[in-house]
Chains A and B, each alone.
Chain A
């Protein structure tokens, strides 16, 4: 049941909204929870709910267990003297670590087996078992819907309780709803417990603005997904599936179109997701903030798939960089290396873990690991070369604050991101490399080749106009202008004409039905 399907947009959302509106405030969560599980079963298989149930149960009881340990400390704290307290505290911290370790083992273990077993088996077979003529068998494994997303949410909850950011939740339904909420289950955003759990559980009564704004956000998401992404997809498939036939500008166009496709598809899906939630007066975190206005790769990743970046920062980067072994490493570097390395070596080492996780999270194959490494290496080079860049800009008298220099930075970032997208989309690393090379073969600025890439000229026009619209909306948002709020102030005739034009542009210019195949969301497979 894709978020762009008729059954989701009309029947499922409609029924859920009606039930949610008529149920008494105290029991509105029942509607959301049962509809979330219904969605899960309808979109996946019945028996696969045992995995999400297992994760829910484990972190629910795990968090309460952590809280019990904390309470125990609080209750005996007063009767102990300072020395005893220290000993006791250390013992309890050890216990807490074991509980968190168990939670991570259970949940990451499940994810690792279901998603990565075949990949690791493959790697081990090639590297290790190859020499002793043994091999691990490949297994046909089912990947439960949304496991990459709800597992991260579950881990963030249990670690936050461990760190003491908030208390364990004794309401099982609230934890279950937080992990299974139907709009977020397939593609995120990876929300935090303290951001959404209470919003989800408490009942919200009918709210006209939230309903209409939510619906508008859904239409905007549909525009990006159905009109732009699904159309661009046809050109992208045409070239990537048969890339040997193409060279020069054709390949460049295909890569740029894939970047357009992935952005409009993923951010469009997020708009549908956030719009779906807003209908119930629930506000989900943003996942995109005009990423293509970034001036550096670092900035790009704080604006693209933001909730994943934030998750990796909080639970991988800080966990690694503030861990005891890492502190020792830090001291070692400090004592043995100069200031330059002291500043960079620990940071880049911690980042390695972040980008390994980022790559692997996207998929269980070497290609995705390399995708993560690509960004890692670019960032590391950027960090180590910073003094040199500074000297060059000083030497050439380039002022960093000028518009031209900022534009240069943006274009540079966009190019780097496009190459990253090439790695992401190409079937194999070899294919990515060959396509990269073929960009420079027979290159000429003859844009007529665009007609041979599987789309007619009308489709190309629609994509170009669509991208211009997305760009202008992004530019306005960068300037702090929000279309929905501005349009809401218009006179009703213009306002409604605007909304109807939006809906009908999706219906008429959407790439769906006869002649277009249903394209599923790219991110759903992760």
Chain B
């Protein structure tokens, strides 16, 4: 979780990722951010996020992202 927060604040400094629950809907993260984030998450957690996983609900909040990462780690 801490790792994830580090990556996020590296990507977009100044955003309160801990408490934001609508990152996509509120246009805090756009498709470019999601792409950069995906690449970093793939490397950092040794998972493979496919285009299928790129749904707004998977990136809406830190918790959602964490859930995605754990799910993919289990599958791998």
Given A298-B30, A313-B31 in contact, is the A318-B51 Cβ separation under 8 Å? Answer: yes
Contact A319 B35 (CB under 8 A): no
Given A298-B30, A299-B27, do A346 and B51 touch, yes or no (CB 8 Å)? no
Select one of B30, B35, B43 contacting A318, CB under 8 A: B35
Q: Which residues of B contact A321 (CB under 8 A)?
A: 35, 38-39
- Find chain B residues with CB under 8 A from A347 CB: 32, 35-36
Residue contacts A-B, CB under 8 angstroms, 19 given: A163-B50, A298-B30, A299-B27, A314-B51, A314-B54, A318-B35, A321-B35, A322-B35, A322-B50, A322-B51, A327-B39, A330-B39, A331-B43, A346-B35, A346-B36, A347-B32, A347-B35, A350-B35, A351-B32
Given A318-B54, A343-B36, 14 new contacts (CB under 8 A): A165-B52, A298-B30, A299-B27, A317-B35, A318-B35, A319-B51, A321-B35, A322-B38, A322-B49, A322-B51, A327-B42, A346-B36, A347-B35, A350-B35
Q: Does A14 contact B (CB under 8 A)?
A: no
Interface residue A164 (Cβ < 8 Å from any Cβ of B): yes
Residues of chain B contacted by A383 (CB below 8 angstroms): 32
Q: Which residue of A lies closest to B39 (CB)?
A: A330
Which A positions have Cβ atoms within 8 angstroms of B? Answer: 163-165, 298-299, 313-314, 317-319, 321-322, 327, 330-331, 343, 346-347, 350-351, 383
Interface residues of B in 42-76 (CB under 8 A from A): 42-43, 49-52, 54
A-chain residues with CB within 8 Å of residue B43 when the two chains form the complex: 331
Q: Complex: how many Å from CA A317 to CA B51?
A: 9
In the complex, which residues of chain A have a beta carbon less than 8 angstroms from the beta carbon of B52? 163-165
Name the contact of B31 in the complex, choosing from A164, A317, A327, A330 (C-beta under 8 A): A317
Query: Whose C-beta in chain B lies nearest to the C-beta of A326?
Result: B39
Q: Convert B3-35 into 0s and 1s, putting 1 for each residue whose CB lies closer than 8 angstroms to a CB of A.
A: 000000001000000000000000100111001
Is the pair A346, B50 in contact by a Cβ cutoff of 8 Å? no
A350 to B35, CA, bound (A): 10
Residues of A contacting B31 in the complex (Cβ-Cβ under 8 angstroms): 313, 317
Q: Closest chain B residue to A383 by CB distance?
A: B32
The residues of A that contact B27 with a CB separation of less than 8 Å are 299
- Closest partner residue, chain B, to A312 (CB atom): B31
Q: How far is the CA of A298 from the CA of B50 in the complex (A)?
A: 24
Q: Which residues of B contact A298 (CB under 8 A)?
A: 30
Which of chain A's residues have a CB closer than 8 A to the CB of B49?
322
Min C-beta distance of A377 to chain B, whole Å: 16
Which B residue sits closest to A319, measured CB to CB?
Answer: B51
Closest 7 CB pairs of A and B: A318-B51, A163-B52, A347-B32, A321-B35, A313-B31, A330-B39, A165-B52
